Amino acid sequence: MQRLRFTGAIAGVGSTSGVRFVVGRWTESPLGSFADVMVEDAAGHRTLLAPDDEVADFVQQTYAFDEVVTTPVSVQATTDGWDVQAEGALTAYLALGPRMPLGWLLRAVPPPVAASPAWATLIDPVAKVVMRGVRTRGTALEGRREWYGATDLRSVSSLGGSWRGTPLGRLADVDPPCRFGFSSTPTRPSVTSVVTTVELLGD
């Protein structure tokens, strides 16, 4: 088995237009530094926005989509918010709110422990009860296994932008949960600092 580690942050938000999306901002990974977006519209159509073919291939072999689009994707992150741009498809600005109570608890866990698959396995039963739709371990496509090691959690306080030329509307809960894999993001819009471990099947 081969285990790959992705370090970064995931933003999960909903909108009054019914569009929900998950932005991955990865600072360290086997694919280099990159950003990608998973979008599910009000009709349930799931679209992956990936910056290149390598990222697109890896992500669609792990998660489920109805459409895959390769286009430049960027995330400019500051202490106040995220400016997300996917050329020709999505533009969004996420204003960040305060650290959530769970975020303070996550920061109290030593980083090497919080990032480990063993810890993600241990807390999974708690996560799925406390946060609807959220799992910290599970099986993805092609028999791949995944572990999500969260290290911080901040709220998102407002949203602006458009999806394929149509305004997103105001910020809303991620409800219903997104259907890209075995886990969704928290229902309340938020940014989670995370270390994701993906285990690939051997040849």
Which sequence spans correspond to the domains of the chain?
A: 2-200
Residues 86 and 165: their CA atoms lie apart, in Å, by: 12
Q: Which residue has the tokens 């995370």?
A: 194
Residues 98 and 104: their CA atoms lie apart, in Å, by: 11
What is the β-pairing status of strands 46-50 and 67-70?
Answer: parallel
> What pLDDT was estimated at residue 202?
63
Is pLDDT above 60 for 76?
yes
Residues 12 and 25: their CA atoms lie apart, in Å, by: 11
pLDDT, tens digit (0-9, with 9 covering 90-100), for 7-46: 999 999 999 999 999 999 999 999 999 999 999 999 999 9
For residue 176, whether the previous peptide bond is cis, meaning omega lies within 30 degrees of 0, is yes
Q: Which amino acid appears at position 177 of this protein?
A: P
Calculate the average pLDDT of the chain.
Answer: 94
pLDDT, tens digit (0-9, with 9 covering 90-100), for 188-198: 999 999 999 99
Reference 142, options 79, 38, 59, 51; nearest CA is: 59
Share of the chain above pLDDT 70, in %: 99
**If pLDDT is split at 50, 70 and 90, which confidence band does 116 have?**
very high
**If pLDDT is split at 50, 70 and 90, which confidence band does 129 have?**
confident
Q: What is the mean pLDDT of residues 122-149?
A: 88
Is pLDDT above 60 for 203?
no
Stronger pLDDT, 142 or 14, i.e. the higher one: 14
**If pLDDT is split at 50, 70 and 90, which confidence band does 201 have?**
confident
Residues 171 and 93: their CA atoms lie apart, in Å, by: 11
Helix ranges restricted to H, 71-192 = 101-107, 111-114, 117-130
Is pLDDT above 70 for 98?
yes
The total number of residues written for the chain in this structure: 203
> CB within 8 A of 48, min separation 6: which ones?
36, 37, 38, 39, 56, 59, 60, 63, 65, 67, 68, 69
Element (H, E) at 12: strand 2-15
Is pLDDT above 90 for 108?
yes
> What pLDDT was estimated at residue 128?
81
Residues 119 and 136: their CA atoms lie apart, in Å, by: 9
Helix ranges restricted to H, the chain = 53-60, 101-107, 111-114, 117-130
> What pLDDT was estimated at residue 51?
98
Residues 175 and 20: their CA atoms lie apart, in Å, by: 8
